[in-house]
Structures are given as C-alpha cells and as structure tokens.
Amino acid sequence: MKQMYTRLGITPLYNVPYTPSTNPIEYCFSQVKHHFKSKRLSCLVNDETFNVTDAIRDAFDQIQPQQVRNDVRHSFIELT
C-alpha cells in the first residue's frame, strides 16, 4: 500500500492511538453510568420499579457544568 501511495503522490496521515484519558466525554459518560447504576441498584434493593428512560435522563441531569469543565481540563492536562 505504501508503494501505491508513493506512486500516486499521496502522503498518508496517521492518527494517534485512541486514548480515553484525552477524551473528556469518557469522563462524563463514566459519571452518567455511575449515577445510572446507583439508581438501578437502589431500585433493586428497595423493590421499586425501574424506568430505564427516566434513569438515563436523571443520570444526565446529575452532571453539572463544573464537572464538565473539570473533565475538559483534565483531558487537556493529559494532552500536554
């Protein structure tokens, strides 16, 4: 393939390997999953009904703007 690139005058650009610590959404989703799992466990322990859609909405509602800013800051530090 590299020979074909050279023959056609193409310079390939390679991406860096995926690193979750440099992607702020990974931290946000981690927090969402934590809230979701806590709600699910609470419902199981207390024998309450569990509505998945509501639990997902509630989990996202738990994320505060300051947490997102901290996640972005943390990811930026990982990049530098």
Q: Where does the pLDDT of residue 14 fall: very low under 50, low under 70, confident under 90, or very high at 90 and above? A: confident
Gyration radius (Cα) of the chain, Å:
21
Q: What is the pLDDT of residues 40-52, one digit of tens each?
A: 999 999 999 999 9
Q: Where does the pLDDT of residue 77 fall: very low under 50, low under 70, confident under 90, or very high at 90 and above? A: confident
Nearest to 58 by CA among 35, 28, 38: 35
- For the segment 13-24, the average pLDDT, to the nearest whole number, is 82
- Sorted by where each begins, the domain ranges of the chain are 16-79
| pTM score | 0.69
The helix/strand/coil state of 65 is helix
Q: What is the pLDDT of residues 32-76, one digit of tens each?
A: 999 999 999 999 999 999 999 999 999 999 999 999 999 899 888
